[in-house]
Structure 1
Amino acid sequence: MAMATSTSSKLDFESILEKQKQGYYKDYDWLSSRLSDPEIETSELQTYIRSIRKCVTHLDRDYEVLVGIMLKLNWATRESCLIKEYQAFLLNLVSAHTYYLRAGVRMLVKHFMSHLTIVTKTGEGGDKNVEITVDDSLRQKHDLMFVNVHLVLKAITQIVPMTPKVLIPLLGELFPFFNKDVYIQECYVKNLLQITHYLPKMRQKIMEIVIERLLKFDVRSPREEIEELQREEDEDMEDIIFEMDDVSVQKEIVSSVDMLSIVETVPMSHKEGHKLDVLMEITFRYIHNLCYSEGELDWEATKLLYRELLLIFETLILPTHASCHVQFIMFYICSLKQPICEGFLDYLWKKVQDPIAQPVYRQISVCYMGSLLSRGIFVPLSTVKTCLEMMCNWIHKYLDQTGDVTLFADVTHHGPFYAVVQAILYVFVFRNKDIFESCKGLKWAEKLNFQRIVTCRLNPLKFCLPVVVQTFASVARSHQLAFCDTIIERNNRQVLPVACTNGNSDFGGKILDSFFPFDPYILSRSRKYILPLYREFQGSIEEGEDEEENEEDDFITEDIISPSNGKFTIGSLSKTPSDLMEYGVSPGFKHVQDMFKT
């Protein structure tokens, strides 16, 4: 075994490889066995790695098994001397033999998924609980490991130009499964975003991978489920506090605890929602750090990031049905600077005007616009007023071009029209106080000619959400801008069917499907990035007259999302009328040139 044990020399290792080719496997198998030993000492392993590195050019495809063993070594958490030796070996390997590049990069990416010790405990009744403890010590250990991995991955990208083409597909392929612990998901996303710092040209593709996974978590975390679990948790907390006999103890507990900090640090009860919350916080922090790299807004960096996110929005976020929170990424970046917000509104408005675009996407786009105009504190009133003007002008031109005589009420044929009208009503309801308090606000509002809109033959009040119609009617009546009550009463006497889910059904009489992309943000940890930017509804909500009289009109409180012929269509929320103003938004528009296309 002299040759086998003296592998520190290049000649001996070359001899092992040469003998293996000739059919003498004893030394080769012994070396493979030693490398596979998990108990091998650092000094011995370092010696083997150094010897193999010196003749790495000989490791062609005939030695894939040996290379595979080398790639499985536990190196990233060992002593620094061994780590450096292994990094040098890996660099030499992939530069000398590019056919090992994918295997090498795959090994590095798998290190982004931290390994956790899972303890299964049997509780009362025989129930088994899985416990995973992540403390500061473990985080520090993993952070150091991640640094070592990124150092070698960055070096590989610099010496092997084709690395990004191999890396990007692997990042998506190796993304942890949904059922993996939140800490594993957190580590993986953090490391993916870290790659963008040394591969900036790949940032958009990496962000696509991250946001696609966020969307999948989002649709697995319905708002209703999160709120229901939160209500149950709040009730349990109240029971605990008020079961105490000593009132002074209650006061001491309530006054000494920062409830907001508790909400931000305690994991959410909804498992998928909690994972989404953690990953959204990482994403918001990443965006903030990119845009404020030196403590002040870096305008050029912000513009570039916005363009990348806009492309992701178009391909992933806009077409995704039932997402509640991921779209706030666009909300957040729009808050950073006014031109970003205006650019996003401009992009959406062009989609609304595009006659070639599918009607459903035109409607979704207008919902996003209205949501932003209504909810964004950072959106100035001047922009809101200009957008309302543009929307109303578009509506009036739509009526002029189609002609009142030939028009008849039909959501199927005039869906974008009704969506724009609902946007006008909703944004006006949301911002009417600011409008009337502005200089000559009432005269400005009179010029919008609401009366023509609400009395046209297309009868938009029949198809818009009843709570929006009722609240707008109240505001318009009090300022004598339009008189909607007669129309509402006439519409109420007509029995409107609930929207069908069968794509072959007649949609002529259904209410307009509605989508509210910027409902209140309810994820506990990440909402700190949104709450300071977010406008809650201020004002009274009109819910119609007697509840029994309007019973047949209460069709919007149930879910009416319908996949028509396999295509996505917008759906309203299953909420009571009062909830819709507190938890709903709608459309709006941006001031740009040549906006009067239909």
Structure 2
Amino acid sequence: MVSLVQAPSMPPTLPQKSLKRDASHLSSPAPESSQSKKLRVAFDDRVDVRIMDDWTAKPLDLVKDEVRSALEGHLRPAADKDDGAYEQLRMVFISAAPSRSHDNGAVSSYTEAPSTALLKKYLVALSGRVSDLKACGKLVHAVLDVNWLGRDDAFVALYVRFLGTLGSAVPGFLRTVLDRIVGHFVEVSSSLGRIPDEPYVPRQQMVARLHNALRYLLRLIPSANSALAESLRGQFPNHRTASRQGYIAFVKNSLKTIEYAPELKAEIQTLITERLVKIDVEVQEELDDLEDEVDEHRVLGLSGLSEAKEDADDSDDDSDVDSDSSSEISMTPEENHLRALRDTVAKLDSVLDLLFSHYTPTFASGKMYEVNDAFEHLISQFSTFVLPTYRSRHTQFLVFHFAQMSQAYAERFAGVLLRLATGRSSASNGSLSAAAYLASFIARGARVNKTLIRSIFTRLGNHLDTLRRNYESACQGPNLSRYGTFYAIAQAMLYIFCFRWRDFIMTPDDADVEDYDIFEEGEPEWLPGIKECLTQAIYSKLNPLKVCAPAIVHQFGAIANHLRFMYVIPLLETNKRLRLSSFRSLAAPASRDMGAARRENTLSHQSGEAHHQLDAFFPFDPYQLPKSKKWLEGDYRVWKGVPGMQDDDDDEEDDSSDDEDEEEDEFGDIGDDPEYESE
């Protein structure tokens, strides 16, 4: 565009105001010379010639007039409404959206996207009339769809201020504004930073701009905190449909918001944990359905492949998003299913890794108020989401790890579980799970000290003895549905004994017992009361060795016999001829342990006689997720055999290899997985 501006030395005479253009003030052209046939252009030194940008040259006042006219026409009563200018205004912003798409088939008069400079003027104009936007939803959505992340800093600052003004003046749009920002948590495409004629903006800078915008809005608008919490919950991606990269990016960005929105810390952590448990349960159900154990190890062992995809926020390469799609064409349905499962496991693994990373600085800070608050929140999450969920397999290791950061936290966690397992509501579903979690924590926690181990075991024994006295007089035989709490406590004690029997041997000065000293001075001296308690319970009419998980009973019997703690082999032989189904019909419905009855379907998933027995459910069994297992180094106590005691398969060398494998698998229910132990 060429602008002719008169030099200031001789200002021209201004025309008179008239409806018609009056050219009388212009100099008359000189008559054409008869000797020349060509047109000539005369340059006047008094005229300043400037080349102006096509879009930028539009004055701000003119833009303001356009915006005013468009809004007034749109806000008129229906009979007088004129949306022509309104639609043209909307198309200005639609043309600046990343997709450059025009909704509803509308055609923009702009052949090219408006420049950043022109968009600034329209934002300034809209900011001055933001109260009129309440009834201009389509226009507001067009503005919110503008690619603002990839423009210069001045535009970003102006745009974010507009968002703040809009959210403050029209609260109804606040959630929409936050949804647009949070929607980028899944993915910020590097293409957003490549706007023609604009400096390139890297992905990391665009992600930082998202958080700066949220920080500004939260500081400006008091109600933005609750609205952001709702937005995060509403925008949280579905783990079945979201890519691994996108899902992990959303979790990472959600955790980052806690840095400038500490008021939302509990809500964000709870939301992530809640969704994590759902994935954990789904993965475990899928693994249970696999045909063989080899597939399970393949899924867990390979879940960490292509971890580089998770760090998309640190890279500007979008090519990896669908890089594997072509190979899916040649895969069988079974292979696709296994691949999808492996991808879900990778999400589980990576999110757990993020949570371990998130909590660790707090516990390492030494600020006791913050540490205590974080630990109490972990226990609350565990009690709310993990404990009632029978199938959770990995999420519980968060509290397992951080509970061992100090003996005080170990005692706190064990105390919570003990109260749930032995409290007045001990027939509830949660109490039966609590007994299993307590036993597994005491047995597997490498940093749990001897004092706590003995204290918990003694208190469990006292409660078991109380239950035995309450039930035995009316008992007609072993019955899981009627006496479920008793059997859950008994199984917890058997399991703890198998792992921690060394801590129950009394020594001078309470020193740790060495394996080679066990039988040096005759019979071991056991912790007072535990032998009598277990003997009375085991040989009572409730007969816990018939109802508890066979793998645990078998291991306890072998260890107890070898250590001369208790000889139960004859009872085990007698129990082989006992049918639990014959005792179930004897339970009067009105007197049944209704909590245990409701829990029976989860404590025992077997069919036939095994349906009336407890599962070997101990939730801190080996952790195999490849990426996040590094956090548990030193936390985990692996199975340690009894000195001088041989396994059954060592005594029967003539057994076939299949029998040996079967025996090893049975032992694995209580011991460690061979592959895990070898690591």
The normalised TM-score by structure 1 is 0.77
- One-letter amino acid matched to 2:268: I
Specify whether residues 476 and 234 from structure 1 end up closer, same or farther in structure 2 by C-alpha distance, changes over 3 A only. closer
Residue in 2 aligned with 1:409?
Answer: 478
Contact in 1 for aligned 2:93/2:142 (Cα 8 Å)? yes
Distance 1:328 1:473 in 2: 29
Is the Cα contact below 8 Å between 1:497 and 1:509 reproduced in 2?
no
Equivalent residue for 1:524, pick from 620, 626, 646: 626
Indicate the residue corresponding to 1:576 in structure 2. 665
Query: Matches of 1:457 and 1:70 in 2, distance apart?
Result: 76
Partner of 1:488: 572
Which residue matches 1:94?
Answer: 167
Superposition pairs of residues 3-402 of structure 1, within 5 angstroms: 5-7=58-60, 10-22=64-76, 23-38=81-96, 39-61=113-135, 63-115=136-188, 141-178=202-239, 179-222=241-284, 223=287, 228-229=294-295, 231=297, 270-292=342-364, 296-402=365-471
Tell me if structure 1 keeps the 8 A contact 2:127–2:162. Answer: yes
Contact kept? 1:467, 1:544, Cα under 8 Å:
no
116 and 218 in structure 1: CA distance in 2 versus 1, 3 angstrom threshold: farther
Structure 1: which 5+ residue stretches go unaligned? 119-139, 238-259, 548-553, 558-573, 585-598
1:375–1:534 contact (8 Å) kept in structure 2: yes
Q: 1:463 aligns with which of 547, 556, 561?
A: 547
User: Aligned-pair distance for 1:429?
Assistant: 0.8
Structure 2 residue aligned with 1:257: none
Q: Does the aligned pair in 2 maintain the 1:10–1:55 contact within 8 Å?
A: no
Asked if structure 2 preserves the Cα contact closer than 8 Å seen for 1:196 and 1:203, the reply is yes
> In structure 1, what is the Cα distance between the partners aligned to 2:636 and 2:374?
22
Looking at structure 1, the residues matched to 650 and 568 of structure 2 have their Cα atoms a distance apart, in angstroms, of: 14
Taking a change above 3 Å as real, the CA distance of residues 78 and 357 of structure 1, as seen in their structure-2 partners, is: farther
Consecutive unaligned residues of structure 2, counting only runs of 5 or more, are: 1-53, 97-112, 192-200, 311-337, 514-523, 583-599, 653-658, 674-679
User: Is 1:451 equivalent to 2:546 in the alignment?
Assistant: no
Give the distance between the partners of 2:451 and 2:124, measured in 1 at CA: 68
Gap change, CA 1:115 and 1:508, over 3 Å in 2: closer
Map 1:416-565 → 2, pairs under 5 A: 416-436=485-505, 439=508, 442-445=524-527, 447-448=529-530, 449=532, 450-495=534-579, 510-539=612-641
Cα–Cα, structure 1 residues 27 and 304, in superposed 2: closer, same or farther, change >3 Å? same
| Pairwise CA distance, 1:115 | 4.6
Quickly say closer, same or farther: Cα 1:545–1:366, change in 2 above 3 A.
farther
Whichever residue aligns with residue 245 of structure 2, its letter is: Y
Q: Sequence identity of aligned pairs in percent?
A: 24
Offset, 1:156: 1.8
1:264–1:524 CA contact under 8 A, matched in 2 = no
Q: SS in structure 1 opposite 2:612?
A: coil
- Cα deviations by residue, 1:278-304 (Å, 9 ceiling, x for unpaired): 111111100112323xxx433221210
Amino acid across the alignment from 2:347: K
Report deviation, 1:165.
Answer: 2.6
Distance 1:454 1:544, change over 3 A: farther
The CA distance in 2 between the partners of 1:474 and 1:230, in whole Å, is: 30
Partners of 1:373 and 1:427 within 8 A in 2: yes
Distance 1:108 1:150 in 2: 9
Q: Distance in 2 between matches of 1:202 and 1:329?
A: 20
Pick closer, same or farther for the CA change 1:445–1:26 going to 2, 3 Å. same
Give, in angstroms, the shift of residue 12 of structure 1.
Answer: 4.9
Q: Is the CA contact 1:109–1:170 (under 8 Å) kept in the aligned structure 2?
A: yes
| Structure 1 contact 154–198 (Cα < 8 Å) conserved | yes
Report the secondary structure of 2:260's partner residue. Answer: coil
Question: CA distance change for structure 1 residues 521 and 60 in 2, over 3 Å: closer, same or farther?
Answer: same
CA contact (8 A) 1:219 1:322 kept: yes
CA contact (8 A) 2:185 2:249 kept: yes
Aligned length, in residue pairs: 511
Contact 2:277 2:392 in 1 (8 A): yes
> Could you tell me which amino acid in structure 1 is paired with residue 208 of structure 2?
V
My pick for the range that moved more, 442-451 or 529-538, is 442-451
Amino acid at match of 1:182: R
Q: Which moved more, 1:527-536 or 1:12-21?
A: 12-21
In the alignment, is the contact (CA less than 8 A) between 2:464 and 2:490 conserved in 1? yes
Deviates more, 1:385-394 or 1:169-178: 169-178
Q: CA deviation at 1:475?
A: 2.2
Q: CA deviation at 1:17?
A: 2.2
C-alpha distance in structure 2 between counterparts of 1:475 and 1:149, whole Å: 60
Matched residue SS, 2:344: helix
How has the CA–CA distance of structure 1 residues 159 and 438 changed in structure 2, closer, same or farther, with 3 Å as cutoff? Answer: farther
Aligned to 1:550: none
Q: Compared with structure 1, are the counterparts of its residues 313 and 579 closer, same or farther at alpha carbon in structure 2 (3 Å cutoff)?
A: same
RMSD after superposition: 3.7
